[in-house]
Amino acid sequence: MSLINDFIKFNLNETTRKSIAEYLWIGGSGMDLRSKARTLPEPVTDPAKLPLWNFDGSSTDQAPGDDSEVILLPQAIFRDPFRGGSNILVMCDTYTPAGDPIPTNKRFSADKIFNHPDVAAEEPWFGIEQEYTLLQKDTKWPLGWPVGGFPGPQGPYYCGVGADKSFGRDIVDAHYKACLYAGINISGINGEVMPAQWEFQVGPATGISAGDQLWVARYILERITEIAGVVLSFDPKPIPGDWNGAGAHTNYSTKSMRNDGGIDVIRKAIEKLGLRHEQHIAAYGEGNDRRLTGRHETADINSFSWGVANRGASIRVGRDTEKAGKGYFEDRRPASNMDPYVVTSMIAETTILWKP
């Protein structure tokens, strides 16, 4: 199909000043990503200069049919790795025509928290480790697994290499470069313990940017798996039994934690998180109870614990941090299908604003 290929590769910049903007938003389930594109008269780099738009909320479970318009407010711009040139991806959030955030819009309240002077002063940094599983398209069985059966038990697959240990590397590598091109602060990737499961990390990102970057990285990943003919799953426990689940461990630090004496600030923060364990867990992803069993490098969902270098605890503090007396900690509870706006703002709220 060489004709279609030629058109996709067209460099528009040679013939017109127009550029294409792909508006992205989160749909009614809180986890489905949607997008549509529009033409701009010329290239735009500032989200404030982009026009508001709207979509049919009744088709995404976000509005009733007789009053279906939902407004899209552009919030962050990234370069489009699929269209190249001056074309862009635009991360948006969603409002009623009256200007109120609709219920699935979690970015709005997260933004408020990050704009609170006490939170802003602490410059909260986030590093999010997004795990995900690749599934064969028609059977929804993990990529590389024999249909109707299982591969050999976990052991050889973590960071593994070889046709019998690593399934789907091209997707992961294409995603890495695409994100770097787009301007997302992707910091690394690795193969995970369960075969066909992978992880990428985004960060360090400050405040609301962590959520924006992670959602766009998820969008780019889903576009790439679409090209590859493979299904992307963010389910926290895709295969029951002796197979690891998928999480979204969230590494976190504030200015006080990064300065001398930070280890005490970290301890206090962890204590506060322990007092709000149930509220956090409820917001850390649907189906997380299937994943947080206390086995497979997780802590049990009902108990809160923390430890240095301990991967079986709710919160893990790295050995570097302990030795230097300052640094960051890792909340290992969020599931792979968590909403980063919710998780990042909640951690900031509990550790900086909340008073027990």
Partner 1 sequence: MAQILAPSTQWQMRVPKSSTFGSPIATKMWSSLLLKQNMKGAAKSAGKFRVLALHSENSTVNRTEKLLNMDITPYTDKIIAEYIWIGGTGIDMRSKSRTISKPVEHPSELPKWNYDGSSTGQAPGEDSEVILYPQAIFKDPFRGGNNILVICDAYTPAGEPIPTNKRHKAAEIFSNKKVVDEVPWFGIEQEYTLLQQNVKWPLGWPVGGYPGPQGPYYCGAGADKSFGRDISDAHYKACLYAGINISGTNGEVMPGQWEYQVGPSVGIEAGDHIWCSRYILERITEQAGVVLSLDPKPIEGDWNGAGCHTNYSTKSMREEGGFEVIKKAILNLSLRHKEHISAYGEGNERRLTGKHETASINTFSWGVANRGCSIRVGRDTEKNGKGYLEDRRPASNMDPYVVTGLLAETTILYEPTLEAEALAAQKVALKV
β-strands 69-79, 197-206: how paired? unpaired
Where helices occur in 195-339 by DSSP H, the ranges are 208-228, 255-258, 262-275, 277-282, 288-291, 319-324
CB of 335 to partner 1, least distance (A): 19
Tell me the closest approach of the beta carbon of residue 266 to partner 1, in angstroms.
Answer: 17
Residue with tokens 């614990």: 305
Instruction: Give the Å distances, CA to CA, from 288 to 31, 267, 336.
Output: 14, 25, 9
* Least Å from the CB of residue 321 to partner 1: 11
Q: How many CB atoms lie within 10 A of CB 138?
A: 9
CB 168 within 8 A of CB 162: no
| DSSP 8-state symbol, 335 | B
3-state helix, strand, coil in the chain (%, to 5): 35, 25, 40
Which whole-number Å values give the CA distances from 57 to 24, 27, 247, in the listed order? 14, 9, 30
Considering the complex, what minimum distance in angstroms separates the CB of residue 111 from partner 1?
A: 27
**Least distance to partner 1, CB of residue 352, Å:** 28
Q: Which is nearer to partner 1, 111 or 129 (CB)?
A: 129
Interface with partner 1 by CB under 8 A: which residues? 1-2, 4-6, 8-9, 79, 81-82, 137, 146, 155-156, 158-166, 168-171, 173-178, 180-181, 186-191, 193, 224, 226-230, 297, 307, 309-312, 318-319, 323
Shortest distance, CB of residue 85 to partner 1, whole angstroms?
A: 12
Q: Are 37 and 20 in contact (CB under 8 A)?
A: yes
Q: How far is the CB of 203 from partner 1 (least distance, A)?
A: 10
Return d(Cα 298, Cα 314) in angstroms, integer.
7
Q: Tell the smallest beta-carbon distance from residue 46 to partner 1 (Å).
A: 19
Q: How far is the CB of 168 from partner 1 (least distance, A)?
A: 8
Residue 59 · residue 37 · CB < 8 Å? no
User: For tokens 């404030």, what's the residue?
Assistant: 48
Q: Measured from the CB atom, is 150 or 181 closer to partner 1?
A: 181
Residue number, 52 or 180, with CB nearest to partner 1: 180
Rounded to a whole number of angstroms, the minimum distance from the CB of residue 40 to partner 1 is: 21
Q: Which is nearer to partner 1, 63 or 317 (CB)?
A: 317
- C-beta closer to partner 1: residue 149 or 356: 149
Nearer CB in complex with partner 1: 229/240 = 229
Residue closer to partner 1 by CB (options 3, 98) is: 3
Return d(Cα 172, Cα 47) in angstroms, integer. Answer: 29
Buried b (16+ CB within 10 A) or exposed e, 81-113: bebeebbbbbbbbbbbeeeebbebbbbeebbeb
Show the DSSP H helices in 100-206 as ranges: 107-115, 117-121, 169-182
Q: Which is nearer to partner 1, 83 or 106 (CB)?
A: 83
- Which of 9/355 has CB closer to partner 1? 9
DSSP 32: -
Of 6 and 14, which has the nearer Cβ to partner 1?
6
